[in-house]
């Protein structure tokens, strides 16, 4: 399916998930009125209650939603309606226990949460089609309906059910033709793994072969894409043409290739959860996989969403009250909800929708707090949401159709991520592998770019941006390596790190002098590399910093050294090099530098603009709206006052929307000001 | 069964578990003579050797115990005889492998230790009845027999066997009538969990619904109670009427409601294990679930036992040599055995029985040391035991029928504990849930009360005591909330903490302004709360301390603030408040304060008495004996000398039993002195 | 089989594992030429590729190796040929899924690595015999073949398959005669474990009985020995008489008794993996079970290998580039490969063979680096190897038939190790058991001996050496205790530690005053012992140090105290004692001392020699060659220069092989110099 153009709503959609059907004492009118007061114009409904839509096998109850749709329509609100396929009802699990997902190791996931079933099963798909036809068919044409959400947060499991494994063998047979080729490509002479027929393929449970693992993960991601594509095609027939098709993506899902999947949607939607309080204000005292921490983490979330379709996106879920389980309740400090929303808008969000309206008194997510707490009374969080809603409404004209600026492209590679999950280069503790190594390297450089004032765009292919970063781009085929060379010769600045180019598209280490296809471009080579068990002092670019985790044994082949280790052994090799090629430059970073030096690598690339800032607690972003005006977003993420400087006269888009003279512009603690 | 009055023995029973049948070279006469020399007057026998009682299916060997009973009787010693149902013989596991307990997740517990079987099975109960009839029938009438111990440490497992799950469905059907009500009460619209019939209920293995989990734990505790009640009724028929019926409770067992179970006993018995050495002398360098640490931990153990029947109790197991596995051998420092025994006596123990007489050369508990070590020779521990035995004998008249004093009642709630095990409010490490949150909050306030010199009684309902503490009383129905109000209006001082009253009896968060039914009484409300990722400075009541883990966003509705956070965000809310209501007071504690401030909350409630103490290393307790005399127990838990002050003339009950003038009374390191 | 005399090669065999069949673009001639240039004279081949030898059930492809054998032969190189039984092909696992090893708990090991099958199965042995007959029969007579490696690194799993468990019952029946004796010996009255027939024996999965566990481990080690013995007998028939029979031992394998197994070999081979860089230079910043760390760890590895047959040995695997997985890449510092090789030679290695020639681009061991890296180009590591090869070649005459000197014998006991794995005396963290306790105690004293300049020989029985150390010799029967007494009376110095002699050969604590059979010899007794939760200050022998983990409550019975605890409780007991008995001395160490004091225990035993050293970074070793000359090996393990002193004129064996005057001899960083 060809991506359609960006949706053309005016201003920013302001929304919330609304589960009327969950409530003990529902009061629809009161809820919708409170929402309207907060300028909420979009609600998201119905994606989790298959057992309410179809209480018994084949018996449907569809009317309960109509008052919600009507009530929304009366108030001019739009509705995003979900297909409920991610939460299967008890009667279906009881009738078809074989649908339960089998995990690696053979453990069947017990029913009791959601997403417990093998969605690839033809049996399951029959039931799914029936309920989708009913729900989308019945309600999809309602005038309040903005679009359909297909399933929810897909790709949670690597599905090890026997039929899926059988399909995997066929999938391999299609790709490799015969087992002889597989034996050669995957090196199966090793440890007596040579196959004589496809049925000899071992199950993934005991696999130790990197190329197998990569194939298994590619295949699993394709299954997820196939499932959403199937729903998209089905729903397309059932609803009017102008209805959007989307799903809420959780980008951490293991069986997800967001860009491939999003080709079947009309708009990208996703989660933008973050830890607020001090975790958003400075180096987080806690890190949890599901959540972004620190401003760079939040920005990265947005930039990943924009990248899925290179298009504005919807934030279908972001925290209102406090999201993270009973033991970790972190309602935002005053101002942080507003900060987060404006940061997402700056990076291309055209919908900010909170999860969720009211906090549940029961169920697994009792402590995943909504706009209203358990008391169902407007409180501080509601007030912050309502003030923000009003501010966004006032700024609607300015923020319509915003295209975020970008100075630095980051190459994102699912294959490299998957391969480095299986064979991680970093340790957690000086010993055990860090299966998030890929994301850790990427995040280090992303934060360096943010610290240097750059704006990032994630890209899957080479783009014409002043800087292009290839962090731990482990699986690199020959062709894209050539594109990188073209980019540099054309004047670009390519920053590549250790592990980039080390392996090929089968996750095989390249049997050539590293960094293989990038050797000439980088002007360095290495025949060895070392883990750094402890941080090693590092100096260069006028900074003293530390090198951590890794050191490539770089030998210069045309490049000049930029930074060196202070160490009796590693000191012989440069840590960072720079190579002029054609009109461009390549920076090769053979280690994981500290924050100071990482930022310094990007410092010279920072463009001038309407606003300038000096404090490390302040970020600046810019985007161009539908009228062609460039907006500047200045955030002060700290609890202390700060200032930025206007280099010319400007008009404020936030707050009182007043004209501003050149000169210092005050930012209160946890403040954000947008000017144009 | 109605609780019978407290047993009427004279003085304190001094005992040991004695497993003659385990020994390599048993020497009964020598053992009993050594015991008699140490003034041991009670032995506990036979509860672990079903395979000795019944070596083959239906073949019994009962006579081996007779010499033990006769030997005890000759020396005036009493015997507590156990039913051996917690340790099933190999022939039974081989004949009925289906009896093996199935754990959550489907794993069957392999045979090889004890307590591996589903004791609810009718098959098992047949075998159990047969062996009980033989053992108790044959020996229960022996004149040496003091009573029968029914099973041992019951409630180890949550039993997931299919027949138990089937019973659970019936149990739910009886309680809720129809699935529609269950759908409503548990909120099963959420995530498509709505049931149409009981057979659609999902197994507990994958459950994520808090109300389900609470029901499952209630049900499991009922199964344990039912089993002990069944044994009690059976044994009652078999033994003379004056024989006590008891079991040895391990209070940490997950499937145990001690008070409900104890209704079927004539006396409560239980474990009072603690870590000695520095762990008993000061803040423990190690914490292990099975063991009490620090003096407050030991006292809490005793107070829990007293509470089971609001009656004096037996300590059927406490450490002699060293209890904790091969890697953790901690024989007590000189004096600590005596300290522990007197502390237990002060809190209502009428039996102190060591586990066990001799240390086993083989078996799982090779390193759970007895009074005699592996050498089977009296050593330092025996000498300490013998000296204590003599001291207790001399004090017999004074310590008969002791009723411990209490200034502070602590409301203990199994339901709140279970609910907060499933949804813990605290973290272990700033991230992962602490499933012992309930006990941690409780222990913090218990220790505060001890630090302030108060004596505690655990209560399940409101009692007329000067102070009543409701720590993390999460599951609170409406009616008991009203009783709390009566208590306060009548002049009491109620101390309640964060999470108290937050949920209802189904572990649902209350859909009302918190703290719900206690809001008016507390004079505060809150619409939000926050985890504290790091300690926050706290000041109030003249102290500077820290707040940890939690902060309710308290708004005053009649209460006055007592303590505040020093923090840019949390500082807006009081941390601790006080509210005058009628003749009484309510203290609301919205956080987990440090040790200083917690003690300060209780400081003003400390009553005057015969003895006063200033050192934080000294505790004072009091109890009234059968003659109506009040005894005072002064412990110095440290390795440095200390003193207490007698406010009037007294007589010493310990040591030389001499008259003492008013004034300072010296306490040697690890000393205890009892006066009246 | 009677051990044959040491092999009679000249000089040190210098080798590498060479897997031609794994390579993407194999270039046999180039590889062999590069090897020859580096003076590599031995290659190890073929042990991992059953699926290459026998691609289909019963179809063999044997010719592929012939060019390798011929190529080696042409260059005068020898070949060690492996039987491929440790890596079974896919077709066999598919045909016989029942061969998969079942782990404790019932989990079947999924196929996908190697060593997944129950090698005791008659079914498996049929297939194994067939492939061995083909491979060894076809190639074993080739003139290049030096010997056959039987399987590889055997003993990885404790095999819990049902047929193995059935054999275990028979094994017990043979040993114990009837279950009554087992009941008595293992103390099975305890917890109702008494058996009435062998079929009632519980499976090891749930076992908690120490004697059972020890028997199970003995039995498992016997299975491994039996399997290798079976291969040895089979291969002996197939190859010429002068071919060596060996296997590559991984000494950490749980189901391995190296000395028993090695009786069936003609030479011991094994792994000598170590962590290089700082881990070899000083206290390692990381410890990983598979790897030796610090010089003492490397030396201990060699001494263990020598001990297997009390004979010179082959290092079939040692690190070249970097061995430890993708997250832990540690190529050696300059000089460290040379240091390690000379240290192994000094301790009796007559082959140094690197694992492996080239680094694999695919497979589980992609990051287990060879002499050549992924680039297949000679680099720094190749150069170091080649320089070492040349040096060893020059020194061939001097290093032929080296017998290492030894001053101190260390008693090694598999039984004590196994028993203390089940019931460890030490904790990891003050709480949880350290299942490596035995090795930790042993390594502490081994390092003490190295620090004091002693050379160690591991022994399984008492040997006439100046010092004999019995570290944690927990399982000690009566007879060997008598031998220890003879040793001391004859003038020896016996050092024994806590736990030595505490249990008997069934891992039962001895029911006598400890240390039981060694009490009179040690001149001390103890009735109690304690874990030390925290280090306790310790003074003695003129040193101030700390005691960790353990304190025996030693009472003197003839011995004199050498060191004491500074502690209010433990201070009453000596920590270390010395007892003169006959012409000898016994040192009893009741705790785990720090490094200072441990070394001091051995300091007076250090013999004079040709070379002396003072720096703690320098080690000295000596060995006598076939000509009767004593060689001295001086290592400087640090990155700073150091010196040793020649006490007489000498000739250098390393380097320029020059005559040297008495006086200081310079050692560069990471240097080693050998003189005679």
How many angstroms away from the CA of A204 is the closest CA of chain B?
22
CA gap C41, C353 in Å, rounded: 10
Take residue C437 and report the two structure tokens written for it: 């306790």
| B189 with A22: Cβ contact below 8 A | yes
Residue C514 lies in a domain: yes
pLDDT beyond 60 at B2: no
We report the CATH number of the domain holding residue C637 as 2.60.40.1180
Phi, psi (degrees; rounded to nearest 5) at B137:
-65, -40
- Whether residue A13 contacts residue A350, with contact meaning beta carbons closer than 8 Å, is answered with yes
> At residue A251, what are phi and psi to the nearest 5 degrees?
-65, -15
Among A206, A427, A534, whose Cβ lies nearest the Cβ of C112?
A206
CB C127, CB C50: distance < 8 Å? no
B608 pLDDT band, cuts 50/70/90, is confident
pLDDT value at residue B460: 86
Cβ neighbours of residue B181 closer than 8 Å, sequence gap 6 or more: none
**What are phi and psi for residue C526, nearest 5 degrees?**
-150, 145
Name chain A contacts of C361, Cβ cutoff 8 Å.
Answer: 187, 508-511
Query: How large is the ipTM?
Result: 0.96
**Is C5 a residue whose pLDDT tops 80?**
no
Separation between Cα atoms, residue C152 and residue C128, nearest integer Å: 13
Closest CA to C601 of C538, C676, C554: C538
**B285 chain-C contacts, CB cut-off 8 A:** 430, 533-534
What is the Cα–Cα distance from B183 to A55, expressed in whole angstroms? 12
Mean pLDDT of chain B: 95
Looking at the structure, tell me whether residues A537 and A423 fall in a common domain.
Answer: yes
Are C651 and C395 in contact by the 8 Å Cβ rule? The answer is no
Average of per-residue pLDDT across A133-151: 98
| Of the candidate ranges A596-610, A613-627, C71-85, C650-664, the one whose mean pLDDT is the lowest | A596-610
Chain C residues close to B93, C-beta within 8 Å:
202
Answer yes or no: is pLDDT of C126 > 50: yes
B511-531 mean pLDDT:
98
A570 neighbors A578 (Cβ within 8 angstroms): no
pLDDT of residue A129: 98
Residue C328 has pLDDT above 70, yes or no: yes
Q: Is residue C457 part of a domain?
A: yes
In a shared domain, residues A307 and A456: no
Percentage of residues in chain C with pLDDT exceeding 70?
99
pLDDT tops 60 at residue C172: yes
- Asked if C192 lies within 8 A of B51 by C-beta distance, the reply is yes
Question: Chain C interface, mutation test: which of A193, A418, A512, A552, most C Cβ atoms within 10 Å?
Answer: A193
Query: Could you count the other beta carbons within 10 Å of the beta carbon of residue B616?
Result: 13
C153, C384, C391, C439: the catalytic one is C153
The whole-angstrom separation of Cα B20 and Cα B8 is: 29
Task: Give contacts of C328 with chain A, Cβ < 8 Å.
Answer: 427, 431, 531
Residue B407's CB: how many other CB atoms inside 10 A?
19
- Residue C630 within any structural domain of the chain: yes
Tokens of B475: 């599951």
Does the bond joining C356 to the residue before it have cis omega, within 30 degrees of 0? yes
Does residue B381 sit within a domain?
no
Chosen for mutation from C103, C160, C183, C189 (greatest number of chain B CBs closer than 10 Å) is C189
Are B203 and A111 in contact (CB < 8 Å)?
A: yes
Instruction: Work out the minimum CA distance from B179 to partner chain A, whole angstroms.
Output: 12
pLDDT above 90 coverage of chain C, percent: 93
How close C103 gets to chain A, by Cα (Å)? 13
Measure the CA dihedral C87/C88/C89/C93, to 10°: -140
| Closest to B17 in 3D by CA, of B2, B7, B3, B31 | B31
Instruction: Tell whether B533 and B446 lie within a shared domain.
Output: yes
pLDDT band at A1 (very low <50, low <70, confident <90, very high): very low
Binding site members of B for substrate: 114, 152
CATH number of the domain where residue C495 is located: 3.40.50.880
Does the structure show a pLDDT above 90 at B445? yes
Count: domains in chain A: 3
Helix (H) or strand (E) holding B391: helix B380-394
d(CA C204, CA C75): 53
- Of residues A260, A317, A384, A415, which has the active-site annotation? A317
User: Would A635 be classed as within a structural domain?
Assistant: yes
How much is the CA Rg of chain A, to the nearest whole Å?
26
Query: CA C433 to CA C528: how far, in whole Å?
Result: 20
Residues A549, A526 share a domain: yes
Same domain, C634 and C589: no
Nearest Cα of chain B lies from the Cα of C189 at a distance, in angstroms, of 6
pLDDT at residue C8, as a whole number: 44
- Residue C318 covered by a domain: no
Region C527-540 average pLDDT: 97
Which has more confidence, B9 or C562? C562
Position C615 scores a pLDDT of 87
Closest CA to B208 of A110, C410, A151: A110
Judgement on whether residues C427 and C560 belong to the same structural domain of the protein: yes
Report the distance separating Cα B548 and Cα C66, nearest Å.
Answer: 72
Q: Is the pLDDT of residue C452 over 70?
A: yes
Given an 8 Å threshold on Cβ–Cβ distance, is A22 in contact with B534? Answer: no
Reported as a single tens digit per residue, the pLDDT across B109-151 is: 999 999 999 999 999 999 999 999 999 999 999 999 999 999 9
Residue B552 and residue B528: Cα distance in Å, rounded? 6
Q: Which of A113-117, B279-283, B503-507, C587-591 has the lowest mean pLDDT?
A: B279-283
Angle between helices C28-37 and C66-74 (to 10 degrees): 30
pLDDT tens digits for range C471-507: 999 999 999 999 999 999 999 999 999 999 999 999 9
C616-630 residue pLDDT tens: 899 999 999 999 999
Tell me whether residues A49 and B192 touch, CB distance under 8 A.
yes
Question: In B483-523, where do the E strands start and end?
Answer: 493-497
For the segment C71-103, what is each residue's pLDDT rounded down to a tens digit? 999 999 999 999 999 999 999 999 999 999 999
Same domain, yes or no, for C453 and C554? yes
* Residues near C362 by beta carbon (within 8 Å), at least 6 away in sequence: A186, A187, A190, A209, A210, A211, A506, A508, A509
Please answer whether residues B500 and A247 qualify as being in contact, where contact means their C-beta atoms are separated by less than 8 angstroms.
Answer: no
Residue range B372-409, pLDDT digits in tens:
999 999 999 999 999 999 999 999 999 999 999 999 99
Q: Does A624 have pLDDT greater than 80?
A: yes
Tokens of C648: 């007489």
Average pLDDT of C311-337?
Answer: 96
Q: Are residues C594 and C476 in the same domain?
A: yes
Q: State the chains in contact with C (3 or more Cβ–Cβ pairs under 8 Å).
A: A, B
**How far apart are the two ends of chain C, measured CA to CA in Å?**
37
Measure the N-to-C terminal CA separation of chain B; round to a whole number of Å. Answer: 37
H helix runs in C187-209, sequence order: none
Contacts of A294 in chain B (CB under 8 A): none
Contact criterion met (CB below 8 Å) for C228 and C248: no
CB C273 within 8 A of CB C328: no
- Choosing from C576, C603, C630, the residue where a domain stops is C603
Residue A317 is among the residues annotated as catalytic for this protein: yes
CB contact under 8 A, A363 and B187: yes
pLDDT of residue C556: 98
Burial readout C642-667 (b: 16 or more C-beta within 10 A, e: otherwise):
bebebeeebebbbeeeeeeeeeebeb
Domain range for residue B555? 408-603
**Is the pLDDT reported for residue A7 higher than 50?**
no
Subunits adjacent to chain B (3 or more Cβ pairs under 8 Å)? A, C
Residue pLDDT, tens place only, B284-309 = 777 777 899 999 999 999 999 999 99
pLDDT over 80 at C284, yes or no: no
- pLDDT reported for residue B429: 87
Q: DSSP H helical segments within C468-576, as ranges?
A: 478-489, 519-522
- pLDDT for residue C676: 93
Neighbours of C274 (CB within 10 A): 26
- Helices marked H in B461-603: 478-489, 519-522, 595-603
Query: What mean pLDDT is predicted for residues B466-477?
Result: 97
Same domain for A559 and A437? yes
Contacts of C195 in chain B (CB under 8 A): 90
A194 and C88 within 8 Å at the Cβ level: the answer is no
Residues in C touching B322 (Cβ below 8 Å): 528, 530
In a domain, C60, yes or no: no
> Does a structural domain hold residue A322?
yes
Q: How many CB atoms lie within 10 A of CB C433?
A: 20
Kindly identify which residue of chain C lies nearest to residue A525, measuring between CA atoms.
C375
Q: Which residues contact B184 (CB under 8 A, 6 or more apart)?
A: none
Same-domain status, A306 and A359: yes
| Same-domain check for residues B522 and B448 | yes
- The CA–CA distances, whole Å, from B635 to B299, B332, B335, B481 equal 12, 16, 11, 37
Q: In 10 A of CB C503, how many CB atoms?
A: 30
Helices and strands: H and E segment counts in chain B: 19, 28
User: How high does pLDDT run on average in chain A?
Assistant: 95
Per residue in B561-577, pLDDT (tens digit) is 999 999 999 999 999 99
Can you give the pTM of this predicted structure?
A: 0.96
Cβ-Cβ contacts under 8 Å between A and B: the total is 174
The whole-angstrom distance between B540's CA and the closest CA on chain A is: 24
Residues of A in contact with C365 (CB under 8 A): 190
Q: Which of the four pLDDT bands, split at 50, 70 and 90, describes residue A8?
A: very low
Q: Is C625 annotated as a binding residue?
A: no
pLDDT digits (tens, 9 = 90+) for A576-589: 999 999 999 999 99
Q: What is the pLDDT of residue C9?
A: 52
Residue in C186, C509, C533 closest to B285 by CB? C533
Q: Which two tokens stand for residue C534?
A: 């925290």
| C-beta separation of C84 from C131 below 8 A | yes
Of B187, B208, B531, the CB nearest to A361: B187
Q: Choosing among C326, C337, C365, C367, which should be mutated to test the A contact, i.e. which has the most A CBs within 10 A?
A: C326
pLDDT, position C4: 40
Minimal Cβ distance to A333: which of B209, B533, B569: B569
Q: Which residues pair with C524 in a beta bridge?
A: C556
Chain A residue closest in CA terms to B422: A326
CA distances from A126 to A82, A109, B367 (A): 18, 21, 60
CB–CB of C189 and B52 under 8 A?
Answer: yes
Which distant-in-sequence residues (6+ apart) come within 8 Å of C647 by Cβ? C608, C609, C610, C611, C612, C662
Confidence of residue A281 (pLDDT cuts 50, 70, 90): confident
Return d(Cα A114, Cα C617) in angstroms, integer: 60
The pLDDT tens digits of the residues spanning A289-317 come to: 789 999 999 999 999 999 999 999 999 99
Q: Give the burial string for B121-148 (b: 16+ CB within 10 Å, else e).
A: beebbebbeebbbbbbebbbebebbbbb
From B192, B221, B253, the end of a domain falls on B253
Clarify whether residues C573 and C637 are in a common domain.
Answer: no
Choose the mutation target among B527, B552, B573 for the interface with A, i.e. most A CBs under 10 Å.
B527
Specify the CATH number for the domain of residue B211: 3.20.20.80
Closest Cα partner for C448 from C407, C400, C417, C489?
C407
- Tell me the per-residue pLDDT of A455-489, one tens digit each, with 9 for 90 and over: 999 998 888 899 999 999 999 999 999 999 999 99
In this complex, the residue of C189, C195, C506 whose CB is nearest that of residue B22 is C189
Last residue of a domain, one of C548, C582, C603: C603
Q: Tally the residues of chain B.
A: 676
Which of C317, C350, C439, C600 is an active site residue?
Answer: C317
């Amino acid at each position: 399916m060809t991506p359609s153009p960006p949706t053309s709503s005016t201003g920013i959609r302001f929304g919330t998930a609304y589960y009327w059907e969950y409530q003990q004492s529902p009061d629809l009118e009161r809820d919708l009125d409170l929402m309207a007061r907060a300028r909420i114009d979009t609600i998201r409904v119905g994606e989790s209650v298959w057992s309410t839509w179809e209480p018994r096998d084949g018996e449907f109850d569809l009317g309960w939603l109509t008052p919600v749709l009507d009530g929304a329509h009366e108030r001019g609100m739009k509705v995003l309606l979900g297909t409920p396929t991610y939460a299967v009802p008890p009667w279906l699990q009881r009738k078809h226990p074989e649908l339960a997902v089998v995990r690696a190791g053979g453990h069947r996931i017990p029913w009791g949460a959601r997403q417990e079933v093998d969605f690839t099963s033809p049996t399951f798909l029959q039931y799914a089609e029936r309920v989708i036809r009913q729900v989308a068919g019945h309600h999809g044409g309602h005038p309040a309906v903005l679009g359909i959400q297909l399933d929810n947060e897909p790709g949670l499991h690597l599905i090890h059910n026997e039929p899926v494994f059988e399909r995997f063998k066929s999938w391999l047979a299609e790709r490799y033709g015969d087992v002889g080729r597989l034996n050669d490509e995957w090196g199966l002479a090793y440890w007596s793994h040579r196959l004589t027929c496809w049925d000899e393929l071992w199950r993934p449970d005991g696999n130790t072969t990197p190329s197998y693992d990569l194939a298994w993960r590619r295949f699993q991601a394709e299954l997820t894409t196939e499932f959403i594509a199937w729903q998209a095609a089905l729903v397309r027939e059932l609803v009017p043409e102008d209805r959007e098709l989307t799903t809420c993506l959780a980008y951490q899902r293991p069986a997800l290739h967001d860009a491939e999947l999003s080709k079947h949607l009309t708009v990208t939607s996703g989660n933008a959860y973050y830890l607020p309080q001090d975790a958003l204000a400075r180096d987080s005292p806690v890190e949890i996989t599901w959540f972004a921490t620190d401003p760079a983490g939040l920005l990265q979330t947005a930039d990943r969403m924009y990248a899925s379709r290179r298009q504005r996106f919807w934030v279908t879920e972001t925290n209102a009250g406090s999201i993270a389980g009973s033991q970790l309740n972190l309602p935002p400090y005053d101002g942080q909800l507003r900060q987060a929303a404006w940061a997402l808008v700056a990076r291309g969000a055209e919908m900010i929708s909170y999860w969720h309206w009211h906090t549940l008194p029961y169920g697994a997510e009792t402590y995943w707090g909504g706009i209203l707490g358990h008391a169902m009374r407007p409180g501080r969080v509601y007030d912050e949401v309502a003030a923000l809603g009003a501010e966004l409404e006032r700024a609607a004209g300015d923020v319509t159709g915003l295209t975020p600026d970008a100075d630095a492209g980051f190459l994102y590679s699912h294959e490299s991520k998957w391969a480095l999950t299986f064979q991680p280069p970093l340790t957690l503790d000086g010993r055990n592998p860090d299966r998030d190594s890929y994301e850790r390297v990427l995040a280090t450089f992303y934060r360096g770019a943010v610290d240097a004032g750059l704006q990032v765009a994630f890209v899957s292919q080479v783009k014409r941006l002043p800087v292009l970063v290839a962090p731990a781009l482990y699986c690199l085929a020959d062709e894209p390596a050539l594109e990188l060379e073209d980019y540099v010769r054309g004047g670009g600045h390519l920053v590549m790190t250790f592990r980039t180019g080390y392996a090929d598209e089968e996750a095989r280490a390249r049997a050539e002098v590293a960094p293989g296809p990038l050797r000439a471009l980088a002007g360095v080579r290495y025949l060895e590399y070392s883990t750094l068990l402890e941080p090693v002092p590092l100096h260069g670019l006028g900074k003293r910093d530390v090198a951590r985790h890794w050191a490539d044994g770089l030998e210069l082949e045309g490049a000049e050294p930029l930074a060196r280790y202070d160490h009796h052994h590693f000191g012989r090799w440069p840590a960072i090099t720079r190579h002029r090629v054609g009109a461009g430059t390549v920076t090769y970073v053979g280690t994981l530098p500290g924050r100071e030096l990482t930022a310094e690598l990007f410092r010279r690339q920072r463009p001038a603009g309407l606003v300038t800032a000096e404090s490390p607690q302040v970020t600046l972003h810019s985007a161009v709206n539908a009228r062609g005006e460039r907006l500047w977003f200045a955030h002060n993420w700290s609890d202390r006052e700060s200032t930025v400087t206007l280099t010319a006269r400007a008009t404020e888009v936030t707050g009182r929307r007043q004209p501003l003279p050149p000169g210092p512009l005050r930012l209160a603690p946890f403040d954000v000001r947008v000017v144009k």
